[in-house]
A and B are shown apart, each in its own frame.
Chain A
Amino acid sequence: MAIDKVTLEILKNHTRAAAESMAFTLYRTAHSTFVKETEDFTTGLTTPEGETFATPTELGATWFVGLNYGRAIRMIDEYEEGDICMTNDPYSGYVCTHPPDMHIWKPIFHEGEIVAFSVGHIHNTDVGGAVPASLSRTLTEVHQEGVRIPPAKILKKGELNQQVLDIFLANVRAPDQNWGDLKAQIAACNTGERKVKEMIERFGIETFKEGVGDLLDYAEAQARAIVRDLPDGTYPFADYIDEDAVDGWPCRMKLTLIIKGDELVFDFTGSDPQLESSMNMPTGGDERHVLLLVGMVYVLYSLDPSLFLNSGITRVCRCILPSGTMINPVFPAAVGMRTLSCNRLHGLTFGAFAQAAPDRLMGAPASGGPIMNVNTIDNRTGRRIMAAINPMTGGSGGRAAGDGTDGSGANQGFLKNTPVEINEVEAGIKVLRYGLAQDSAGPGKHRGGLGTDMVFQAFSPNTKVTARNRDRTTFTGWGIAGGKAGGASKFIKNPDTDHEVNLRNTDILSMGPGDIIHVTCGGAGGWGDPLTRDPQAVLLDYRRGWVTADHARDAYSVVIGEGGIDIPATDALRAERAAPGKDDGFYDLGSRREAFEAVWTDANYDALTECLASLPVHWRFYAKHRIFAAIAAKEAPATNGDDVRALFEALLIEFPQLLPTAAE
């Protein structure tokens, strides 16, 4: 490090002040309610090379710490003072990760030289394309996901590039909102520029330039110290999305975490081929793409919250990401709903680190609850209503230090709900229940966090409900170190009636007047053997309405009677069920995943991965589906990969057009 540590600490506070001021400027002046509600935006400052050295933490999305703008920056040939560039193309520069995200960057000059960029993004409510809001699991190509602006100057020497703006706005459904939000982004970048210039005046250009490098090094050094504290080793783990497309087959994400000294490797080999749905994650093969490292940043920061958040952190890790897979798709794979795969990857990352540090990490975070919107007609005014109702979140996993958090937390701690009273006044629905989902927590010595739970009723015909990111109907959040898996999520229409419908992972549906929906988020995984949980803690959960007496008995072997815990019965039951020396493995994956993996063993999935990798990208998803269907039809498929390979060979014979390229 080149500048003294006192000045560096002061510079650090000034760079953070700049980034935070940018965020407040954007938040204050943004037009769309979506930005104000979800805070799905970022601001920051990067080096001339595109490494982010300052990030706000008080406002904004938590997902893009250390995003590298370099590739996008380099796609513009020449910069002049007053230029501002933008892109929302997931396949140009790999800074944007789905089309609703409009990223912008502004060069900051000092005496003719670029010394930094002020940058940021906003998630636009709509950027055109096949469906309103531009996001749907059903989309198969990025072309359907809205207008794409490859890196272009929206301001040239301070002058608005009206043509580019017009093209953008002509293709979106609510252009005023997009333009209003873009102005807020520009204002934020200008704030960043002003603050950088003030810093240069305050510290001098040399100190500023060196200091910025030192801040990246500082974050890197902190991150390395945290990694060094974790035991070396290879920690493989996989998790699944229930469906790889609407009504599809399970979708596997695989991560092999390698810790060596103060370095990490994330090997994604074994993750599914790129999907013909929109859950692909466009990373452009960038081995430090922040979209792949969000879970890592969460883990390192949570292990030591003094970690300064910038791109320096990403230097400790390198990813291996095979091309043509869901974590490194090739153009034009659809990417709109990558949020769902990102969520799964966060949990997967926590799980891999948990093997390395079982007493410092936690069971699976709650997942699978949707972000919900209602579109209905107000019976009184006849007015059409579009309203965001709750994001159905859940808590964090159990860990050595205690139970998980209930209702929200872990990688979903940034979301906010809508009050019941506001939903009833605005969304034309009546809420019958909103709270925590009983018995949803993964049992453990320290249980996982509960999911949220909501029951609501519609009053108008043809009330449309969208439920983005539905998952965890089948595969549930795993427990660790003896802890058990959390409960599945639920999405049920007219529960406990003769016309009950299990909506499973449906993401759009219609309700009629009087129809009732019950929706919950899956629960988080537990930590430690539930038989060792303090019976008083089980009783307290029972008294709180979070655990039923049946569940207390089944999951914890705690017998609760009229007057509290039936101690003799509990002792007897626990003694009966205790199985000393029995090793169930590090994870409890839940019964449905165990059943699935009895067929789709590691050997089978590895064989599948290898076979599919040999195919041209546009055949892989199809071939996977064919092989899955064939395995499902088999009475007792082999577990060693032979049947998978045989089925693949059969496919090659069935489709001779594959043979010439299969060797590639």
Chain B
Amino acid sequence: MKCRVAVDIGGTFTDFCVLDEETGELRTLKTLSTPTTPGAEVMNGIAEIDQRYGLKPSSIGYFSHGTTVGVNTVIQRRGAELALFTTQGFEDVLEVARLKVPDPYNIFSRRPAPLAPRERVYGITERMLKDGSVETAVDAADVRAAVAAATADGADTIVVALLHAYSNPDNEREVRGIIAEAAPEMTVTLSSDVWPVIREYERTVTSTVAGYVQRRVADYIGSLQAALAKSGVSAELLITKSNGGIMAAELGKTNPIQTLLSGTASGVIGAADVAARIGASDVLSFDVGGTSADVAVIRDGKPAFGTGEMVGDFPIYVPTVSVTSIGEGGGSIAWIDDFGMLKVGPESAGSTPGPACYGQGGERPAITDAFATLGLLGGAELGYGAVTLDRAAADRAVGGLATRLGLGLQETAESIIRVSISGMYLEISKLMSRHGADPRSFALLAFGGAGPMTACLLARELGIGRVIVPPTPGVLSAYGGLIADIRNDFIRTAFVDLDEGGLAVLEGHAVDLERQALAWLRDEQGFEGEARLIFTADMRYQGQSYEIETQVKRADISAGRILPIAEAFHAEHAAVYDHSDPEAPVQIVNLRLVVSGSVAKPDFQPGTMTDAVAKPVGNIDIFLDGAARTANLYARSELDCGNTLTGPAVVSQDDCTTIIPPGFDAHIDVWGNLVIEQEA
């Protein structure tokens, strides 16, 4: 076993991160994605790894990958023909949703059309009560009639989401049995399998997304497995998950919902790993691509998790690393409104035609063009030579706005960047307020193609003192897949008071969850190392309508110790909301268990520090902070640990450009990170 490979397959590029376990060297590679023939890009990459680095496919002992196939299936609406079976009387569950519309100020605002069209929703005669007792048994004839109607109407997948199925899945399973008999070719998704948690809309919409992507993701994983085998890779294919972990890809075929947001999640896991190694505990991960900036909050080294994260138009309620997507990326277009105000986005030039400076037919000025006009780009090839930079095209595009603004070309370019930064400032201010955090105590960890380009300017606006650019900023999502743990989440809705009786109920759930989790880890994953089990409870004060996830000790549940559990909740409530109410009765809505198993981590060795000032590869003329300046241009590959740099400077590398404005100093740390700090 000689090397580990992690791949992140995006819409345009496929990123590879390769760890040579003998030398400890981390290699990266980008190839063009081949959406029409999934697997081909991976085969190309494996061949190139062999060619470039001499690492044979047979030497690959670990192969993880993340993919956007599931997300794109939803965004492009190219998934299954869904039918939905609900409890009779509740067929409008997806239409009514939680009522709130996307933009309540707009009287025409509407919720997106559900993935299961209402005419293919069938109410089934059955009824489960809140305590899990069956009030009305499943009417088999009803189910058979619904299957026949759904089949006649072209459905290929049936999602079954019945009331109170979190409490007792028997009726859903019985329905599945009847469907299997009546229409064995039908794919069936049960809400109690996908994520058995109370709140019917949330469980149902999550299940429809799961059902919608199931066949496509399964096919895709199948072709990838075949491609790997063909390439001579014998390692079992692993897949990254939205919870920041990994699992056997084989399981992704039946449980694809857990993989949907793995791309952004792995980036955050990669960012957290980089931050942890250098002892930065509070970090904003800042991943900027062509159309959006993805920001995540990492506190005390731990990424924040969320539910209701969006996949295309739909929220999904499985544990997901929480990422806020801001509609501003390198391709966002600048324009002027009817009142002379300069705006940036939300329209984006995307990857085709892309910014004008990519020379692929784009004519309107994108953020990347503004950077090009300022002379800040073009010091090196972009995207491993995939595109070349056309500065004149950028100038033309930016110049189109200059007259209306009454500004010079470069002032216009800088204005575009300042407006775009202020838009990001707005969104990140909201995010920080939501967390009750002060950005000034955070570091900004920048990656993605356009993150390092804008990070320092954003840091200045937010009052953030430190920016970190990891050695391989273009492939941090892939890197996250290289170092992720095997991880899975389990949940039981309990809905009990925090008292002796409640804890007795909880104990029963805990035993079940533990058995389920260990079975998953040992039998399904074949993991033999130490199992880590973390129990948390979704708790609230009686009368509240929202819960806070609080870590609880298994031993306290078993021993029926109320006090430590209550105290943990009061403390968590105070941490989240700034107040707690130790007198108020507490309820436990859900019990959760996270099981994880550590995979061997790359053993990075710190570099040898020099105290030399970095050597530039040249000088470039730039325009920044309202003035023409000369800046040093550095090649990232030639920078050594301990090298120091002073802004203004530009650092170029294969997959991105880092801009260090005046007033910032930088150095390469012992792990090879470019650490940029604002002068006090």
Q: Enumerate chain A interface residues (CB-CB to B < 8 A).
A: 5-6, 8-10, 12-14, 16-18, 20-25, 28-29, 31, 33, 36-37, 57-58, 62, 65, 176, 180, 183, 187, 191, 218, 221-222, 225, 297-299, 301-302, 305-306, 309, 350, 362, 365, 386, 388, 391, 393, 396, 399, 401, 405-411, 413-422, 424-425, 430-436, 452, 455, 540, 543-546
Contacts and interface: CB of A to CB of B under 8 A. Distances in A.
B130 A424 contact: yes
15 contacts: A5-B340, A24-B433, A25-B436, A29-B436, A222-B339, A362-B107, A388-B545, A405-B109, A408-B100, A409-B109, A419-B199, A424-B164, A433-B90, A434-B96, A544-B118
Chain B interface, >50% SS class: loop
Contacts of B201: 419
B420 to A, nearest CB: 10
B82 interface: no
A436 B114 CA distance: 15
B341 A8 contact: yes
A391 B99 contact: yes
Contact of A6 (B96, B418, B434, B578): B418
B419 A420 contact: no
B442 to A, nearest CB: 15
B494 to A, nearest CB: 11
Shortest 7 CB-CB contacts between residues of A and residues of B: A435-B92, A24-B433, A413-B101, A414-B104, A433-B89, A17-B429, A13-B422
B433 A309 contact: no
Nearest to A350: B107
B338 A540 contact: no
A301 B106 contact: yes
Interface string B542-570: 01111000000000000000000000000
Contacts of A222: 339
B107 A396 contact: yes
Contact of B436 (A28, A309, A540, A543): A28
A436 B198 contact: no
A353 B436 CA distance: 42
B460 to A, nearest CB: 10
Contacts of A225: 338-339
B665 interface: no
A37 B546 CA distance: 9
B100 A413 contact: yes
Given A407-B96, A452-B96, A29 B341 contact: no
Interface string B139-166: 0000000000000000000000001101
B49 to A, nearest CB: 44
Contacts of B99: 391, 393, 407-408, 413, 415-417, 452
B365 to A, nearest CB: 14
Given A12-B341, A302-B106, 10 more contacts: A13-B419, A62-B105, A406-B96, A409-B110, A414-B101, A418-B545, A419-B201, A422-B199, A425-B495, A434-B96
A160 B262 CA distance: 49
Contacts of B405: 5-6
B203 to A, nearest CB: 9
Given A407-B95, A418-B545, A10 B418 contact: yes
Contact of B200 (A350, A414, A421): A421
Contact of A416 (B100, B342, B576): B100
B577 interface: yes
A94 to B, nearest CB: 23
Contacts of A23: 433
Contact of A540 (B106, B119, B425): B119
A529 B93 CA distance: 30
Contacts, number: 212
Indicate the member of B164, B337, B426 with the most A CB atoms within 10 Å.
B426
A421 B89 contact: no
Indicate the member of B99, B119, B342, B422 with the most A CB atoms within 10 Å.
B99
Given A218-B339, A414-B104, A416-B100, A31 B579 contact: yes
B181 interface: no
B53 interface: no
Chain B: interface residue count, which band? 35 or more
A416 B99 CA distance: 5
B230 interface: no
B578 A29 contact: yes
Given A417-B99, A433-B90, A545-B91, A410 B434 contact: no
A416 B100 CA distance: 5
B108 A36 contact: no
A12 B95 CA distance: 36
A660 to B, nearest CB: 48
B479 to A, nearest CB: 32
Contact of A434 (B89, B108, B340, B432): B89
B462 to A, nearest CB: 10
Contacts of A16: 426
Interface string B166-185: 10000000000000000000
A36 B544 contact: yes
Nearest to A27: B434
Contacts of A414: 100-101, 104
A299 B105 CA distance: 9
Interface in B117-142: 118-119, 129-130
Interface string B426-444: 1001101110100000000
B111 A13 contact: no
Contacts of B105: 57, 62, 65, 297-298, 301-302, 305, 309
A14 B108 contact: no
A405 B96 CA distance: 10
B614 to A, nearest CB: 32
Contacts of A416: 98-100
B579 A21 contact: no
A169 B93 CA distance: 41
B630 to A, nearest CB: 25
B207 to A, nearest CB: 14
A408 B199 contact: no
A2 to B, nearest CB: 13
A9 B430 contact: no
Contacts of B343: 9
A28 B578 contact: yes
Nearest to A455: B89
A545 B123 CA distance: 11
Nearest to A11: B422
Interface string B382-393: 000000000000
Contacts of A57: 105
Given A36-B544, A413-B109, A14 B98 contact: no
A595 B405 CA distance: 60
A176 B340 CA distance: 50
Contact of B90 (A65, A407, A420): A420
Contact of B419 (A10, A218, A306, A362): A10
B111 A405 contact: yes
Interface in B607-643: none
A306 B106 CA distance: 11
A421 B429 contact: no
Given A21-B433, A222-B339, A411-B107, A425 B96 contact: no
Contacts of B433: 20-25, 28, 191
A401 B436 contact: no
Given A391-B99, A433-B89, A543 B107 contact: no
Interface string B335-361: 011111111000000000000000000
Contact of B163 (A388, A421, A545): A421
A354 to B, nearest CB: 11
Contacts of B495: 425
Contact of B101 (A17, A29, A409, A452): A409
Contacts of A9: 341-343, 419, 422
A198 to B, nearest CB: 8
Contacts of A13: 419, 422-423, 425-426
B523 interface: no
Given A306-B337, A413-B100, A417-B99, A544 B107 contact: no
